[in-house]
Chains A and B, each alone.
Chain A
Amino acid sequence: MIPVVSALALEPEPHLVANECTACGARFFGRRAACAGCFNEAFTQATLPTEGEVVAFTIVAFAMPGVPTPYVAATVDLGGTKVQANIVGVEPTPDHVHLGQQVRLTTFGLGQDTHGTEAIGFGFTPIGD
C-alpha cells in the first residue's frame, strides 16, 4: 500500500501528518525550504486529529477523466489546521453536506499499479448525522 500523498500516514491507524515549523508552529503539507510565516528553516512532524469541522465546501460537477462526478470538495478544520479533501460516503447534494458539519477521516483504495501496489486515498465522512 502507498498513500496518495506523503501527508497521509497509514500506521498504526490512518492519520494526517503536517510539517510543523519549530519556531512559530505553522503547519504545511509537503516539503518547504523555510517557514512561509517566519522563515525558520527547521520543521518537525505533527500528527493531526482525525476529526474536524467542514468550514467550506463545494459540489463539483466536472472533473478530469477517471474522477467520478459530482464530488464534494471541502476545507476541513482539524483542530486549527485546515486541510483540503473530499467529503465521501454522502449523497453529493446540498441537502447532505453543510457548513459546520462534523467529519472523520476515512481511507479507501484508489487502484493498483502494475506491481499490485494499492494506492490509498483519504477523505472525510460525516459523524453521526
Chain B
Amino acid sequence: MSSGDVWILGITMTKFGKRPDVETDELAAEAALGALKDAGVTMKDIGVLAAGNLMGGALGIGQQVQKQIGQTGIPVFNVANACATGATALRTVIMAIKAGEADMGLAVGVEKLSGAGLLGGGASRYDKDTWTPRGTDGAIMPLDGRVGTAGMPGTFAQVGMEYGHKYGGVSFELFARISEKNHAHSVLNPLAAYNKAMPLEQIMGDIMIAYPNTRPMCSANCDGAAAAVLVSDAKLKTLDPDQRRRAVKISASVLTSDPYEEGCQVLPNVNTLTRRAAQQAYEQAGVSPTDLDLVELHDCFATAELVHYDNLMLCPEGGAVDFFESGKPFRDGALPVNVSGGLQSKGHPIAATGIANVWEIAHHLRGEAGDRQIEGAKLGLAHVIGLGSACGVHILEKAS
C-alpha cells in the first residue's frame, strides 16, 4: 500500500558563479542530467517537467531543456514566481505526482545573472513632454527613489528595520554579524560562488547598498542551476535498493501567497505568508521546529535572515535577535541555519535557488555533505520567498 508520499530520487546543483562558457539552456541541462544520473533514471522515465528561468523572457525554458536532454512529448510547465520560482517548479511536480497524473517528474531552475547589478525598480513608460498620469496609481514619472524605494535592497532593508521597530534590539552591527556567520559557513561549500570568510570590519566597511545592508550583506548575483527528480512512493518501491537507499522523503511541500493585511501593498509583508507556510509545513510533516537538524532559509539580504528566524518559528515570536545571539543558527549551534553559506555567499541565481536549497538539505540527510556535514542530520527545512509575494517551504526527512 502506497503512503502517498513523494520522494526525491535524484537532485543536483551546479557550481554557482560565473559561467560565460554556457548558455542558459545548457546550464539547465547540466543540472537536469545531473539529477537524472543521481536518480539512476533517464528522460524516458519522466512523466512531467516543471522548469523556471525568471530572466529568460517568453521562451519556455522547459522545452529548451528538453531539446538539450530529451524530447518525449510529456507535459511541460514553465513557472515563474520571483525568487520562489525553483520551489514552485518542485511544488508543481509534487502536485502532479500526488494527483496521480505522473509517477516520476523533473523540476529544473536556472538563471544566468552574473553582472546583473541591482534588481527591482520601475521601467520607464512616462511622457516627459506632457506629464500624464499612468497606471493604477496615476504616476506621472518613475517613482523609485522619488516616492520611497522599489528596489530589492531598500525593500528588504526596511523589512529588517520594521522588525527592529516592533521588537527592538537590531543594529547595523547585528545584521552584519548575521552576514559574517554565513560567509564563514561558505568556506566549507565548494559549490558556493564565494567561499571566503569575511571579518566583521570588512563587511561593515564595504560599500553601503541600502542601509543597513552593505554589499556582502546582499545576495550574490551569479549563474547557476539546480534540478530534482521526484518519485511517488508506489513507484519508489519498485526501484532497486541502491536508488531507494538514497531517496529523501518530502514530508511537507507548501506554497503560499501574501494574504491581505494593512500596509502589505506599501511595504511587502514577507512575514505572514512565511509564517503560514511554516505552520502548514510543520503540520503536514507532523514535526515541530525543535525537531529540525538544519534550515536553509532565504537570506537574500542579512536583514531578511533575522525576520525569518521568527517567521519559521525557530524562536519565540519577537525573539529573533536572542535566537541569533544564543549561537543556535551557527553550524556548531543547536539549529544550524544556512550552512551552505546562504544566498549572500553561495549566490542567488534566482530560479535555481528554491531547488538548490533543497539539494543542500538532501545532501546532509544523505550524509554526503563532506566537510560541512551536519552530523546525524535526519530532518531539515528549506525556505524561499519571492517578492510579490510567494513563499515555498519544504521539509525533508532521511529515509528510515
Q: Give the residues in chain B near A60, CB-CB below 8 Å.
A: 145, 149, 151, 153-154, 209-211
Cβ-defined partner of B265 (8 Å) among A29, A59, A67: A29
Q: Give the residues in chain A near B129, CB-CB below 8 Å.
A: 113-114
Do A56 and B211 touch (CB < 8 A)? no
Which residues in window 149-169 of B have CB below 8 A to A?
A: 149, 151, 153-154, 157-159, 161-162, 164-165
Do B262 and A81 touch (CB < 8 A)? yes
Count contacts on B: residues with CB < 8 A to the other chain: 46
Do A84 and B148 touch (CB < 8 A)? yes
Q: Give the residues in chain B near A26, CB-CB below 8 Å.
A: 260, 262
Do A62 and B209 touch (CB < 8 A)? yes
Q: Is B400 an interface residue (CB 8 A)?
A: no
Q: Is B208 an interface residue (CB 8 A)?
A: yes
Do A4 and B141 touch (CB < 8 A)? yes
The smallest beta-carbon distance between A58 and chain B, in angstroms, is 4
The smallest beta-carbon distance between B359 and chain A, in angstroms, is 32
Cβ-defined partner of A37 (8 Å) among B149, B164, B209, B260: B260
Most A Cβ at <10 Å: residue of B131, B135, B141: B131
Do A56 and B148 touch (CB < 8 A)? no
Do B130 and A115 touch (CB < 8 A)? yes
Query: Provided the pairs A5-B137, A29-B265, A86-B147 are in contact, do residues A75 and B162 lie with their beta carbons within 8 angstroms?
Result: yes
Q: Give the residues in chain A near B285, CB-CB below 8 Å.
A: none
Q: Give the residues in chain A near B144, CB-CB below 8 Å.
A: 63-64, 67
CA distance in complex: A85, B208 (Å): 20
CA distance in complex: A4, B137 (Å): 9
Q: Is B388 an interface residue (CB 8 A)?
A: no
Cβ-defined partner of A94 (8 Å) among B136, B141, B162, B211: B211
Q: Give the residues in chain A near B136, CB-CB below 8 Å.
A: 30-32
Do B161 and A4 touch (CB < 8 A)? no
Which residues in window 98-132 of B have CB below 8 A to A?
A: 118, 121, 127-131
Which residues in window 28-68 of A have CB below 8 A to B?
A: 28-32, 35-37, 54-64, 67
15 residue pairs bridging A and B, Cβ less than 8 Å apart: A7-B137, A26-B260, A56-B162, A57-B158, A60-B209, A60-B210, A71-B145, A75-B148, A83-B266, A85-B148, A94-B212, A110-B146, A113-B131, A115-B130, A119-B131
